[in-house]
């Protein structure tokens, strides 16, 4: 159990709505769909209504500062079945990268690899009290597209299981300093923070608004009790 999962959820009942892909850039075809992830009659491009409104606000700020730039949606809503599928896929991929066969791992090695995966992927819990953030429709994975229609350099790909994914990995005070990449990551964070989103501590691309992780981060910053307003959306 992660610390943020202790946050109370008072589900507000707000609907999940499709993201207008004519307004935002989007990664298509969606990579998880291409892998066979079981979305059913839903799509990776859905969010809670107020979360989508905040995303529009973030993009308006971005385009005021950088005309012609857009937010690119990589991923948003995930049923728990998709979360399970991607955790399994990520675990298998990580094992193969380490020259190991998933089915031949010892219990200790399996647990160590899973611990790495769970730094970046939430457990696919069906417990209503501990939903994966993306399964609430309140989390979105994004990057930026510049005025030339090119993806902005963020220093590492979305979903990379590596410390390079940490938001401040390329910060000036660190040994991996890259001022351009760090500036881009800071711009992304500022763009989303201005609309009320909070960034995942391990993932430069992951932002949420109204879920447990958001409430936990807000509570830690303000020192005032905060609850989540979005729980799991049934597939």
Give the residue numbers annotated as catalytic, written as ranges. 203
* Other Cβ atoms within 10 Å of 30 Cβ, number: 17
List the structure tokens of 200: 């995942």
Helix (H) or strand (E) holding 57: helix 49-65
Taking a C-beta distance cutoff of 8 angstroms, is the pair 117, 90 a contact? Answer: yes
Among the listed residues 160, 213, 230, 208, the one whose alpha carbon sits nearest the alpha carbon of residue 10 = 230
CA distances from 133 to 102, 140, 154 (A): 26, 9, 23
CA distance 48 to 207: 13
Strand segments (E) across the chain = 16-18, 25-26, 46-48, 70-75, 139-145, 198-199, 206-208
CA distances from 9 to 93, 104, 112, 131 (A): 33, 39, 30, 10
Looking from the CA of 193 toward its CB, the CA atoms found within 13 Å total: 11
């Amino acid at each position: 159990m992660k610390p943020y999962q202790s946050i109370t959820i008072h589900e507000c009942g707000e609907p999940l709505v499709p993201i207008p892909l004519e307004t935002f850039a989007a990664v298509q075809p969606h990579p998880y769909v291409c892998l066979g992830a079981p979305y059913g009659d839903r799509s990776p491009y859905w969010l809670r209504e107020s979360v989508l409104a905040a995303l529009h606000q973030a993009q308006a700020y971005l385009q005021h500062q950088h005309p012609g730039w857009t937010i690119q949606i990589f991923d948003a809503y995930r049923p728990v079945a998709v979360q399970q599928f991607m955790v399994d896929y990520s675990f298998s991929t990580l094992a193969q990268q380490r020259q190991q066969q998933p089915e031949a791992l010892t219990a200790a090695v399996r647990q160590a690899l899973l611990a790495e995966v769970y730094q970046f992927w939430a457990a696919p819990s069906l417990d209503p009290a501990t939903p994966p953030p993306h399964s609430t429709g309140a989390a979105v994975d994004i990057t930026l597209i510049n005025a030339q229609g090119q993806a902005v350099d963020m220093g590492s790909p979305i979903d990379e299981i590596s410390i390079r994914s940490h938001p401040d990995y390329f910060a000036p005070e660190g040994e991996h300093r890259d001022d351009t990449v760090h500036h881009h990551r800071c711009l992304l964070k500022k763009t989303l923070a201005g609309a009320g989103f909070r960034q995942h501590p391990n993932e430069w691309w992951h932002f949420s608004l109204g879920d447990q992780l958001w409430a936990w981060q807000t509570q830690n910053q303000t020192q005032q009790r905060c609850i989540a307003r979005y729980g799991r959306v049934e597939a």
